[in-house]
Amino acid sequence: MTTLPSSPTAADLSVEHTPARLTPDLSVYVAGHRGLAGSAVWRALSKRGFTGLIGASSSEVDLRDRTATMDFVSANRPDVMIVAAARVGGILANDTYPADFLSDNLRIQVNLMDAARQFGVQRLLFLGSSCIYPKFAEQPIKESSLLTGALEPTNDAYAIAKIAGIMQVQSIRRQFGLPYISAMPTNLYGQGDNFDATNSHVMPALIRRFHEAKLTGAQEVTIWGSGTPRREFLHVDDLASALVFLLENYDSPDTVNVGTGTDVTIRELAETIADVVGWQGNLRFDTSKPDGTPRKLLDVSRLRGLGWAPEVSLRDGVESTYRWFTSNLNSIRIEDGLVGLPG
């Protein structure tokens, strides 16, 4: 195992430091390397020449199983760990299966971080979610808003699990002096997303619906809620760039937001996607369905202050995601339905 510079003491970690640059000879375990975020990190590190990348599918290692997780990390002894593994889903999935989201995510992150500490992982980044912040947090949402108000009820179980992950990172730093960090991304999209009709997030769900409407000649597409909530979207390639940047430039117990600093309404998002797909029809908003949080825009001044900024615009990101979607209909994550209809 390649040796990084010695870790600072627990007292030193109460302030920010500049960690060492990641070099291609380091071994990096990307937990969740086949998921949306993890696969983007894997691509980014591969492009930088990293040859010691470590990954395992859920069928190879069940990260909810403590013994299996410990055995895997013990056998591989990575220098760096990126915790991108999680049970994720859209508003319907979170609202329907809160116990599963809480239990699975708590076990995954506790097992991984305990294993990292026990088996000498020198740098770790825990990937959280912007849903950790209060439903009515002041916009844009600063990192200091954490634990200052009630959560959005439709995904509070998932949020609590992610908050626990932040606390675990901070507790490991305090107790063991290890330079572990956490980052909170906004809504993600891009290559490798889940396009399931009921269990996906809003961006891939809309891409799928408009694509199917185009194929079938449907003149109307129904969208949950009023269309007025505002959301921020970050392309996964930008996320991967940000995470590598943070591992090389950020060392603080405080979590850091990762986003674009701009947002759009769900209606505006739907209109953009429909235009990219080439579907022309009527949008119907089902107001009997929940809107979720009225607005969720992250304050990204901390990350911008460090010198990082996103590169992919929303329009360009939607276009590239749709191209990837149509080119991978036989392999994308879809658990039902008619996406593969001939055009």
Position 151 in a domain:
yes
Query: Is 32 assigned a ligand-binding role in the annotation?
Result: yes
Position 113 in a domain:
yes
The partner residues of 30 in beta bridges, in order of sequence, read: 82
Torsions phi, psi for 189 (to 5 deg): -160, 165
Q: Of the given ranges (6-20, 234-248, 268-282), which has the lowest mean pLDDT?
A: 6-20
Give pLDDT tens digits for 270-307. Answer: 999 999 999 999 999 999 998 877 889 999 999 999 99
Give pLDDT tens digits for 179-215. Answer: 999 999 999 999 999 887 666 788 999 999 999 999 9
The partner residues of 53 in beta bridges, in order of sequence, read: 28
pLDDT of 290? 84
Hey, CA dihedral for 118, 120, 123, 124, is it positive or negative?
negative
29 in helix, strand or coil? strand
Position 213 in a domain:
no
Position 332 in a domain:
no
pLDDT higher than 50, residue 340: no
Query: Is 310 assigned a ligand-binding role in the annotation?
Result: no
pLDDT of 198? 65
Position 90 in a domain:
yes
pLDDT of 18? 67
pLDDT of 201? 82
Query: Is 162 assigned a ligand-binding role in the annotation?
Result: yes
- The type of residue at 306 is L
pLDDT higher than 70, residue 333: no
Q: What is the mean pLDDT of residues 53-77?
A: 97
Q: Of the given ranges (84-93, 137-146, 258-267), which has the lowest mean pLDDT?
A: 84-93
How is 263-286 classified by DSSP, letter by letter?
-EEHHHHHHHHHHHHT---EEEEE
Work out how many domains the chain is built from and give that number: 1
- The type of residue at 65 is D
**Residue 133 falls in the annotated catalytic set:** no
Query: Is 36 assigned a ligand-binding role in the annotation?
Result: yes
Look at the block and give the residue holding tokens 């990641």. Answer: 22
Q: Domain range for residue 87?
A: 12-190+233-258
Torsions phi, psi for 149 (to 5 deg): -170, 180
Position 16 in a domain:
yes
Of the residues 29, 97, 133, 158, which is catalytic? 158
Position 111 in a domain:
yes
Residue 30, domain CATH? 3.40.50.720
Query: Is 66 assigned a ligand-binding role in the annotation?
Result: no
pLDDT of 313? 97
Q: What is the mean pLDDT of residues 96-117?
A: 96
pLDDT of 163? 98
Position 326 in a domain:
no
pLDDT higher than 50, residue 154: yes
